[in-house]
Every structure is written in C-alpha cells, then in structure tokens.
Amino acid sequence: MNNIVAIVGRPNVGKSTFFNRLIQRREAIVDSVSGVTRDRNYGKSEWNGKEFSVIDTGGYIKGSDDIFEGEIRRQVELAIDEADVIIFVVDVEEGITPMDEEVAKLLRKVTKPILLAVNKVDNAMREKDAYEFYNLGLGEYYTIAGMSGSGTGELLDALADILPEPEEKQEEEALPRFAVVGRPNAGKSSFINALIGEDRYIVTDIAGTTRDAIDTKYNRFGFEFNLVDTAGIRRKAKVKEDLEFYSVMRSVRAIEHSDICILMIDATRGFEGQDQSIFWLAEKNRKGVVILVNKWDLVEKDTMSTRDYENRIREELQPFSDVPILFVSALTKQRLLKALETSVHVFENRKQRIATSKLNDLMLPIIENYPPPALKGKYVKIKFCMQLPTPTPQFVFFCNLPQYVKEPYKRYIENKLRENFDFSGVPIDIYFRQK
C-alpha cells in the first residue's frame, strides 16, 4: 500500500525545494511529475525500502493576506484528511510567524504522525536559532537545508521508521483492479450504482481496501475483477470542493493501485483542467485508460456531435490519443456495459505479448523504408527489436547509435506499433539501446 506524505507550510519556506530534493536525489526514485495539476507537485520516492508518494501542497495562494491564510488553512486541512504523514516545513531565517502558529494549531489536534522540518539551517549559528521552534508545541524538530540537502537523511530515516512495513502481496490482489476516477460530481457513484444495482453478479464488498475507497468484486463477460469506487471516499464539509487539488489527491491512491482507470468526465462541463490532471496522472503511472463522457443525455446534440466532442478531447490528449472514448449516461444506463467491456479489452491489451519473430518481421521493413534521419552524416542502423518482459508494454530497438534517435522518430515507431497491434488505451514505452 503506497503511503501519502504531504509537505505543508506557508509560502516561501522552501517546500518545493525540499520536495525536489526528495524526488531527484535518490536513484531509488520511481517517478516525478511536475505540474500534475497546474503547479502542483506529485512524485514517488523510496527510502530504506519504504515506498511513498510525496505531495507538495505549495504554490497556490493568490489574492490578499486573508485569502492567503484561508487557502493555507484549507490546504493543511486537506493534507490532514488525505495524507498518512505530514511534514511541516518552517523557515529558520524568519522564525515563527503568525501563519506558522496557525498551521501548528491545526496540526496539534491531529493524531497522524507529524514531522517538523526547520529549513535553511546551513550553519551552527542557525542551529541555535532553530531552538525557538520547540514553542510550536509539536515536539522534536529536524534541521535541514533544502538547497544543499544537509539533514534530509535524518528526516527521511524518521519518516521511514513511521511508515508501515511493505505488505506481502496477497493472493486476492491477483484480481485486476479497475478504478473509477474523475472530478467530484462527474457521476462516478451513479455509474457504479447503476452497474451494481441491477446486477446479481456481485460476490463481495470489501470496504476500506484503499482506506475509504470501496472495492467490489464483479463478475461479467466471464471475467472477474475488482471495481474500485473512489467516489466513496468521505467528503469533509470543511474542505471546499472547489480545491482543484482535492479530487486529484483522492485519485492518487486509487490510480497507483489499479490496472485500468475509468476516467469519468461530465459532458456538460467538457474535458477540464482537473480531468486532464487525472488523465496524465494515470498515464505517468502507466495504467490503462478508458474515458467515459457521462451525462451525454443532457447535451443538446444539434450543437455538438459526438465526433466533434471526441476530436476536441483527443486534441487535449496529444501525443497519447489512442484511448477509447465512450459516451454514456449513468442515469439512463446507456452504454454502461459497453464501457465495462471496453475496460476489459484495454486490460487485455495492456498484458499482451508480441512474439519477437513477428515483431521483427513487421517492424524491420517499416524501419528500412523510413530509417531515422542521419545526424552529423552518421546513419542509425536498427538491427533487431523485442518486447521486454515487463507488466506494461515496453519495446527495445537495438541499433548502432541510440543517442541519435530523437523524440519524433520514437513517436513514429509508436504509431506504427499501434497501427499494427491493438494497444488502445495503453501507454507504450520505447527504448533504443546499443546493440
């Protein structure tokens, strides 16, 4: 189970620098996505064998001081609700400010583990200045210098001690997991209720598998899978739904622990920033994706046809636009089973293996007819290709000068693979390596 670690604090204390330090410093880092939601930072990290997702709640205060404080308060409340561990960053240069005290007041009421990080401590003098942070009433603190990285090791050791031991994968986990994700009010619950309400195929309900997301074992088309409802995660009256980040933070866990993401968007609102954030989060985590445009029954068809609507979405998804898009209505139950069938199909695409001989017979003539462009008078010769034995589709092409193969040619190869094999809804990785 991946734990979520949230970095909180007022602006300009160095949260983002510290975040970048966590994400880039170690070779063990899995993934880092900057700007997943506008200037929201999300990444995965590992320390002492414990994996965790890091979320930097910084970077979105705008307006006057009052709005300023209100926004920070809401971010901290959100982190308290959704994260497993909270790192509270303060700035030794400025000492304790009224805003730090506000944040500390919220954190003192919490039962979750809180680590206090005093940033910008880069000399002995500042070590002494850090004593005053005992006054925040949060116990021990860790002195760090986000810029140089000193002190972050001790902080991370403490974090790793708090995080639970990685669980052994249980046999039950073997069932594929389809997570229904999307912004609030897109119709996730209605979709799941429509499927479950009239179906007698349900075997069990397991609550709290991803904290409060609900897993439902589902059996259809002779295919068994877990349907994960992220909509079931509790709504706190305190946290305003207008926080861009809210549904993304909720979706992080569900996406990381799924095989296929069924992204529901509201037809009446279009494919908005938040929907796109969730889509790219799924893509970065290499999950299969199916997009369902819900509430299609409410759209006036003369103003916009399905084709126009679909084309607009595909433009936003470039370069990964080979994704199934279905127009559904959870209310009238229109095309819901088709949506599940498509999700099962994407799952099959994601685990398909292509025989090496078949791949070479097909791809080598294509490459010969259109080789990579020569660079500095040197020609790239691609001799052999194969699919790697990885959980998601990855292909390696062996050649003499891999460093000369640029992004546009990789995309060309990917498009050719997609034309000849069905990888609809699945991200593909392509590597060029020295023969």
State the binding site for GTP: 9-16, 56-60, 119-122, 182-189, 229-233, 294-297
209: nearest Cα among 226, 224, 188: 226
Q: What is the DSSP string of 122-176?
A: -SHHHHHHGGGGGGGSS--EEE--TTT-TTHHHHHHHHHHHSPPPPPPPGGGGS-
- 118 is written with which tokens? 């005093």
Q: Is there a contact between 260 and 341 (Cβ–Cβ < 8 Å)?
A: no
Please say whether the dihedral angle defined by the alpha carbons of residues 146, 150, 151 and 156, taken in this order, is positive or negative: positive
- The distance between the two most distant Cα atoms of the chain, rounded to a whole number of Å, is 71
The residue written with tokens 């207008």 in the block is 242
Q: Is there a contact between 256 and 2 (Cβ–Cβ < 8 Å)?
A: yes
Tell me the sheet residues that pair with 225. 218
Numbered residues of the known binding site? 9-16, 56-60, 119-122, 182-189, 229-233, 294-297
Q: How many CA atoms lie within 13 A of 283 on its CB side?
A: 20
283: nearest Cα among 233, 345, 346: 346
Q: How far apart are CA 343 and CA 347, in angstroms?
A: 6
Non-local (6+) Cβ contacts of 194 within 8 A are 330, 331, 333, 336
